[in-house]
Structure 1
Amino acid sequence: MRQVPSFDELLSSATRSAVHLEMRDVYAVVEEAGELKLWRSGRWTLDDGRRALGEWMELVASVAKRGVAVRRARIVSEPVTDYIKYEHALTPLNVRAGEEVRWLPRRQALGIPLPAADFWLIDDRLVRFNHFSGAGEAVEPEMSEDPKIAALCSSAFEAVWNAAVPHDKFEV
């Protein structure tokens, strides 16, 4: 495993593809706590999300404008958690920035061999694993350039992607 670059460095290094597989039903990311609380209050708007995701949207837009395919797939339990409802409400911003996003109910993923952690896969060669505590807090990520690990992640992502529902057709 190698040192983990920032998301700016990681996505900026992509030349063809940047794919992200998310498999948790709850994330407890410190940076999202305020916005998630606002969303739960019922006063949240997409403009609030736009302010919170502004830097991310700019990064994704710059990568997509270079012709890099940016795709995100989410495996979710049903009924979905409040956190997944929040993510679903935010997802139009990801799409506007240039990401393609699909959703797969967990029961439909049972036959897909999956790595044990969420990941980003860059150009089918470089993997960033995002690790989380049991409560959903982000813990130290890892990187790998092992071709076997990259192949597993690529295969897993493509299987999920092919079985998943596009964002605009997935209802929470």
Structure 2
Amino acid sequence: MGDMTQLQHLSEGIIDLDEFEDLFRTFDHSAWRLESRRRFASDEATDTYSQFVETGTVDWDREDPYCELIRSQTTQGKRVERVRIVDQPPTTGQLYLLNNAKRNSGLGEDIRNLWRADAERLRLPAEDFWLFDSRLVAKLRFDDEDHLMDVELITESAEIARYSAIRKVAWHHALPFEEFAVMLSDSE
């Protein structure tokens, strides 16, 4: 079964994190994310987060399974992109992710940033989701402590059109992470 067929056979509902990870193996041409959270509990539990808090930088492992997966997809010509919403001033978690963008960009991912005030002015939703191949949304669901619980799949045409419109607006107004990082360091 080809990648496109695999995504078409997915139906709406809640999936677990293993099934969510499989979406990154089976998408056909694009995986796009809107990331609006101020923090992720999973990041804060890592050694790299502790290293970042202590030193302001991280020695990123570029050979971990996520890196290998994203690199394998982007070398096939598939697009992996995201827009991160950032507070002013950024939270520690957002600064950590800005540092991580250096690694992810080296894998072929295109990461851009948008100030939260601009996102609110543009009426972007305060939700985290991935849009795969412009036909499947994976809406990430978090608990009150910022732990990712599960993922809601959305395949309904009107909702896909709404999320695609969100992508278009966010992408148009967001800055590439390198440009954003320079702007941020100039303001400190």
Whether the 8 Å contact between 1:115 and 1:153 is mirrored in structure 2 is no
Shift of 1:27: 1.0
* 1:73-122 deviations in Å (ceiling 9; x for gaps): 10111100011111111111110111000000011112434345200110
Give 5+ residue unaligned stretches, structure 1. none
Instruction: Pick one of 29, 37, 62 that aligns with 2:50.
Output: 37
Whether the 8 Å contact between 2:20 and 2:151 is mirrored in structure 1 is no
Structure 1 counterpart of 2:64: 54
Structure 2 counterpart of 1:25: 38
Q: Tell whether 2:118 aligns with 1:108.
A: yes
Measure, in 2, the Cα distance between the counterparts of 1:29 and 1:122: 23
What letter matches 2:54 in structure 1? S
Shift of 1:25: 1.1
What letter matches 1:129 in structure 2? K
Structure 2 counterpart of 1:14: 27
Whether the 8 Å contact between 2:36 and 2:126 is mirrored in structure 1 is no
Whether the 8 Å contact between 2:14 and 2:151 is mirrored in structure 1 is no
**What is the SS of the residue equivalent to 1:39?**
helix
How high is the sequence identity, in percent, across the aligned residues? 29
TM-score normalised over the length of structure 2: 0.81
* 1:143-165 deviations in Å (ceiling 9; x for gaps): 11111111111111121111011
Measure, in 2, the Cα distance between the counterparts of 1:140 and 1:122: 17
> Against the structure 1 CA distance between its residues 25 and 87, is the aligned structure 2 distance closer, same or farther, given a 3 Å change threshold?
same
Q: Tell whether 2:148 aligns with 1:135.
A: no
Measure, in 2, the Cα distance between the counterparts of 1:6 and 1:116: 24
Whether the 8 Å contact between 1:115 and 1:152 is mirrored in structure 2 is no
1:147-158 to structure 2, matched below 5 A, reads 147-158=157-168
Whether the 8 Å contact between 1:114 and 1:152 is mirrored in structure 2 is no
Larger Rg: 1 or 2?
2
Shift of 1:43: 7.5
Structure 2 counterpart of 1:122: 132
Measure, in 2, the Cα distance between the counterparts of 1:64 and 1:116: 28
Paired residues in the alignment total: 169
What letter matches 2:171 in structure 1? W
Measure, in 2, the Cα distance between the counterparts of 1:98 and 1:32: 26
> Against the structure 1 CA distance between its residues 146 and 115, is the aligned structure 2 distance closer, same or farther, given a 3 Å change threshold?
farther
What letter matches 1:68 in structure 2? K
Regions of 4+ moved over 4 Å: none
Structure 2 counterpart of 1:80: 90
Structure 2 counterpart of 1:2: 13
Whether the 8 Å contact between 2:124 and 2:170 is mirrored in structure 1 is no
What letter matches 2:102 in structure 1? P
Measure, in 2, the Cα distance between the counterparts of 1:150 and 1:102: 21
